[in-house]
Amino acid sequence: MIPLRDSHPAGKFPFWTWLIIALNIYFFYLLLTSSNPDAFMATYALIPINVDLSNFATLIPFFTSQFLHGGFLHIISNMLFLHIFGDNVEARLGYLLFPIFYLFSGFIGGFAQYIFMPDSIIPMLGASGAVAGVLGAYFVYFPHHNIKTLIPFFGFFTVVDIPASIMLVYWFITQILAGTVSIGLPGDGGGIAYFAHIGGFSTGWIIAKIFRKFKV
């Protein structure tokens, strides 16, 4: 399923959402044009085996890795989801809280992946943990919105309106199932950080639940 558009525009210019998208594109460009992409990745991506919880410098990649992507499909899919779901969440949380919320969700998502694979030497990168946090908050605040979605149907594609609650529950369940299966796979689960998705989504959901209780 590929989301195309939310049925309820936020009505406010999503400053942080667009800035985050621009930063992701910029750092993707820097990676593509780097004279030594491997060194660039080693510096800014999150490599679990290098993490030392007593050394702050080794924790910085939990944040910098959120702005790196491994390919065009990777960055396009993450930025598409952020574009569709981010504006409403940003409008709800406000200009001050949204960037903090976004980075924190990404941090917890990355940490969740680290907990399950602390000895991995494969670089972790991508905005998916942070974007998953946005999805978790969207699920709390806007479950009844419809998402215009492109889905395959007997070899063809069709566009249908799917309630956000159904789409996001389906997405979350697939991440749990894939993450469970990945634990037993060689090569660190096939290179997809499912537990970052689960951790980010859960973080966004919990924070939004708490904020909503206090009318945020």
Give buried/exposed letters for 126-149 (b at 16+ CB in 10 A, else e).
bbbbbbbbbbbbbbbbbeebbbeb
pLDDT confidence of residue 190 = 52
pLDDT confidence of residue 7 = 87
pLDDT confidence of residue 186 = 56
Residue 150's beta-bridge partner residues? 2, 159
pLDDT confidence of residue 142 = 96
Q: Which of 54, 65, 62, 186 is nearest to 112 (CA)?
A: 62
For 147-189, write each residue's pLDDT tens digit: 999 988 777 889 999 999 999 999 999 999 988 887 766 555 5
Residue 156's beta-bridge partner residues? 153
pLDDT confidence of residue 45 = 95
pLDDT confidence of residue 85 = 96
Q: How far apart are CA 147 and CA 57, in angstroms?
A: 40
pLDDT confidence of residue 33 = 94
- All residue ranges of the chain with pLDDT < 50 are none
Q: What fold does the segment set 2-213 form as a domain?
A: Rhomboid-like fold (1.20.1540)
- Residues 148 and 7: beta-carbon distance below 8 Å: yes
Give buried/exposed letters for 57-89 (b at 16+ CB in 10 A, else e).
eebebbbebbbbbbeeebbebbbebbbbbbbbb
Q: Which of 3, 31, 19 is nearest to 126 (CA)?
A: 31
pLDDT confidence of residue 216 = 67
pLDDT confidence of residue 174 = 93
Q: What is the CA radius of gyration of the chain?
A: 17
pLDDT confidence of residue 191 = 63
Beta strand 146-153 with 2-6: parallel, antiparallel or unpaired?
A: antiparallel
